[in-house]
Amino acid sequence: MKQLTYAMQFKGSAAPKDDANPGVLGVQANGKSVGSALTGTLVDAAKADFNSTVRMMEEGTFDEDGTISFGNGNSLRFSTLNKGHVAPSPEAGVTAGAIIWKIDGGEGQFAGATGLITSNFFFNEAGEVTDNQFGVIFTE
């Protein structure tokens, strides 16, 4: 079993997926490495694409699932481990939150991957998102 870690900052946007269900958001963002990016030798993680579906729940909680693509057919699938939480930040018009995802598998060099990803993020009233992630990935 190989262990990989990554630290990335993703920037993008969040918006309702459709008008009929405003509590379901689509998030799309592009990431770049923070510090040493990915430790290990499987992929070049200088850049990545993030796509997810967020389902808002009661009292500032949510669940989420999605994918992170590192290019060349190498991607991870993830889903909520426990509920995520959002709350107003000290900065006016900005909401902050955090969540832990479990890795449900992947494609390419991440086929059969497991592990956890933490996300600490914030977004503004215009729907602009900044998501700071740290992941520990186990592959065979």
pLDDT confidence of residue 18? 87
In 3D space, the residue among 117, 122, 123 whose CA is nearest the CA of residue 137 turns out to be 117
Which amino acid type is present at position 127?
G
- Ordered by where they begin, the domains of the chain are 2-139 (2.40.160)
The tens-digit pLDDT sequence of the chain (140 residues) is 889 888 899 999 999 998 888 899 999 999 887 654 455 544 555 689 999 999 999 999 999 999 999 888 999 999 999 999 999 999 999 999 999 999 999 999 899 999 999 999 999 999 999 999 999 999 98
Predicted confidence at residue 140, as pLDDT, reads 84
Distance between CA atoms of residues 105 and 23, nearest Å: 27
* CA distance to 19, 20, 21, 53, 80, per residue, from 118 (Å): 29, 30, 27, 16, 10
Alpha carbon distance 72, 37 (integer Å): 17
- pLDDT at residue 20, rounded to an integer: 86
